[in-house]
Amino acid sequence: MTDDPPPNPALLPAGLRDLLPPEAETEAAAVELLMDAFALHGYQRVKPPLLEFEDSLLAGSGAAVAEQTFRLMDATTSRMMGVRADMTPQVARIATTRLAHAPRPLRLSYAGQCLRVQPTGLDPDRQVAQAGIELIGHDSPEADAEIVHVGAEALLAVGLTRLSFDLTMPPFVQCLLDEAGLPPESRGRLARALDRKDAAAVTQHGGPLAAILTTLLLAAGPADRALAALRAAALPPAARALADRLAATAAAIHAHAPALKLTVDPIEFRGFRYHTGVCMTVYAPGRHEELGRGGRYICGEAEPATGLTLYPDAVLRAAPGRAARLRCYVPVGADGVPARAAGYATVAALTPTADDSAEARRLHCSHVLIGGDIVALQPE
């Protein structure tokens, strides 16, 4: 009989990882750039707790992420708690309780880590960084457009100059299906076909909606083309109102940012179940990974709101690489203040060394302070 070797102390649960230097500093700096951009547009930062009681965390829009929420019991109260899987429901709770009497529209921003039971999409991580904004108490195309403008400016601050915002209206397809009166089995097959973007199956299962849904399916792409197809479609009144709102939002975005690339997918209906109107997903051209997503929802019982959540990990993978901060070795007795004032990270010697340059290299410094001068180390 042999004893099993002890587990590797560096081994972490699936979907969790350590972030090491310099990546951890790079991520923190990127998040602050995003938050600074939000603040410049009047979005005030809030900081919800990582854990909440389950009944408040999963109330309202939080119900949409219930299956992704880790749960545990509070040893103090014996009540069940949840670890947040998404920060938007927490901000909604703050808006409707602690800030219920604050002037509207209420503009809030946030940043933090979320934990999910299962990874989503192509990203294997279960711990996900978020940085976002919520505009609460105003329902208009201009409010939807502001969320897009501010998100684009924040991403520009981290070096992303080419972006694409994909606009959708998740209630639109559901509205058409409701008004068509399709039987449940046909409705289910049609929804699956639309989700797969399968034009042949949409034609097969669409019944009276087959022609219009196929046309709109094939029209997805540049905003002008997709919106023209929506304008030309014969839609019932409720669906027409949703299509017009989508077009008005696109017009409001282009009025302030005519160069921003917009695409529209009229029949896309995926997303968080709490979305009730215009939604947006952010991409960098040439990449399939989402940089962020958001949209319109109901805050609390009936207050209109919209927001956008950016994913800093994905943003950094798409952004231009940022050089790590240069490190300067400061020998015993030297003053590191000028080096820090010049933007260097200083690494102070704790004991005298025989060769300051060699010690600087050992500690991964690119420069050394010699006689008050910052001297670059030559490659070995």
Domains (range + CATH), the chain: 17-164+270-324 (3.30.930.10), 171-267 (no CATH), 327-376 (no CATH)
Express each pLDDT in 91-116 by its tens digit.
999 999 999 999 999 999 999 999 99
What count of other Cβ atoms lies within 10 Å of the Cβ of residue 334?
Answer: 20
Strands 80-83, 292-299: pairing kind = unpaired
R_g of the chain, CA atoms, integer Å: 26
Helix, strand, coil percent values for the chain (each to nearest 5): 40, 20, 40
**85 within 8 A of 67, measured Cβ to Cβ:** no
- Is pLDDT at 271 greater than 60 in this prediction? no
Helix, strand or coil, per DSSP, at residue 10: coil
- Residue 7: its pLDDT value, please? 80
Order of all β-strands in the sheet with 303-310: 44-45, 106-115, 127-136, 303-310, 292-299, 275-283, 164-168, 261-264, 221-222
Give the DSSP H/E element, type plus range, for residue 302.
none
Please report which confidence band the pLDDT of residue 246 belongs to, taking 50, 70 and 90 as the band edges. very high
What DSSP line would sit under 182-243, residue for residue?
--HHHHHHHHHHHHHT-HHHHHHH-GGGHHHHHHHHHH-EEHHHHHHHHHHS---HHHHHHH
- Residue 186: its pLDDT value, please? 81
Helix, strand or coil, per DSSP, at residue 33: helix
Express each pLDDT in 28-73 by its tens digit.
999 999 999 999 999 999 999 999 999 999 988 888 889 999 999 9
Residues contacting 285, CB < 8 A, separation 6+: 162, 163, 164, 261
For residues 155 and 319, what is the distance between their CA atoms, to the nearest angstrom?
9
Residues contacting 322, CB < 8 A, separation 6+: 26, 29, 30, 159
- Residue 2: its pLDDT value, please? 62
**169 within 8 A of 245, measured Cβ to Cβ:** yes
- Residue 1: its pLDDT value, please? 52
Q: Per-residue pLDDT averaged across 331-357, rounded?
A: 96
- Residue 376: its pLDDT value, please? 97
- Is pLDDT at 270 greater than 80 in this prediction? no
Q: What is the pTM of this model?
A: 0.92
Which one has a higher pLDDT value, 5 or 79?
Answer: 79
Residues contacting 190, CB < 8 A, separation 6+: 177, 182, 201, 202, 205, 206, 207, 209, 213
Cross-strand bridge partners of residue 212: none
Express each pLDDT in 140-196 by its tens digit.
999 999 999 999 999 999 999 999 999 999 999 988 888 887 788 888 888 888 888
- Residue 86: its pLDDT value, please? 95
- Is pLDDT at 236 greater than 80 in this prediction? yes
